[in-house]
Amino acid sequence: MLEAINLDCVRGERRLFHNLNFQLKAGECLLVRGENGSGKTSLLRMLVGLTPPAAGVIHWQTSPIKKLGDEYRRQLLYCGHPLGLKDDLSATENLISSMALTDESVTQDAVHEALRLAGLQGREHLSVRALSQGQKRRVNLTRLLLQKRALWVLDEPLTALDTQAGQWVVRVIDQHLSDGGVAVLTTHQDLTLAGATHVIRVGV
């Protein structure tokens, strides 16, 4: 479903990676490893179409993502390292606004149920400013339960999460893979998924 062919990443005069290749089928996950500054986030930005590769091409279901445009973006969900939450809005308001930006409607009840599953019951109407960093991360990751997308691209999804919340994220990703989805994620932490997993290292 997702294929990278001979990708190069260059920042300034420095080449971060060269001739990177991988292929993911339905139900498979790619873990991207590497030191800080090695190009992990740059690779994710290439995969979601935000940054063009210096060389190479990315295919989704055999077609270049550059040609697919909005059709491709409607099938992916990107959770970047910046959370993109508005501090003055509640968790519920942030999620409803996020869904509206993608032309998707969601009921408040559905949002509250997703927040409950994320361990945030009782905090649905608190302003995001009042939440801890781990709770803010969980609000952002609650989108995984609300937006039904085939491809998940997740940048350090376990950052600031305690053990229980981290286990919840793993279960959610495993269910996505079991349902035939595809995932690409970066993490500095140990992560064991039940679904088929590939690992690449960048910057070495």
Q: How do residues 146-173 score in pLDDT, each as one tens digit? A: 999 999 999 999 999 999 999 999 999 9
Q: Which residue has the higher pLDDT, 196 or 34?
A: 34
How far is the C-alpha of 160 from the C-alpha of 134, rounded, in Å?
5
Please tell me the predicted confidence (pLDDT) of residue 204. 60
Contacts 24+ apart (CB under 8 A), 194-198: 195/27, 195/28, 195/29, 196/25, 196/27, 196/28, 196/29, 197/28, 197/29, 197/30, 197/31, 198/22, 198/24, 198/28, 198/29, 198/30, 198/31
pLDDT beyond 70 at 36: yes
How far is the C-alpha of 185 from the C-alpha of 188, rounded, in Å?
10
Q: Specify whether the CB–CB gap between 153 and 47 falls below 8 A.
A: yes
Please tell me the predicted confidence (pLDDT) of residue 196. 75
What length is written for the chain? Answer: 204
Q: Is 130 exposed, middle or buried (0-12, 13-18, 19+ CB in 10 A)?
A: exposed
Please tell me the predicted confidence (pLDDT) of residue 164. 93
pTM equals: 0.94
Q: Where are the domains of the chain?
A: 1-75+149-204, 86-148
Mean pLDDT in residue range 186-199: 84
Q: Specify whether the CB–CB gap between 2 and 32 falls below 8 A.
A: no
Q: Hey, what are 63's tokens?
A: 């077609």
Per CATH, the number for 1-75+149-204 is 3.40.50.300
Q: Hey, what are 51's tokens?
A: 């940054």
Looking at residue 42, its amino acid is S
Residue 128 DSSP class: G
Q: pLDDT by residue (tens digit) across 46-96?
A: 999 999 999 999 999 999 999 999 999 999 999 988 888 999 999 999 999
Q: pLDDT by residue (tens digit) across 95-135?
A: 999 999 888 889 999 999 999 999 999 999 999 999 999 99
Residue 145's closest CA among 103, 99, 182?
99
Q: Which residue has the higher pLDDT, 12 or 58?
A: 58
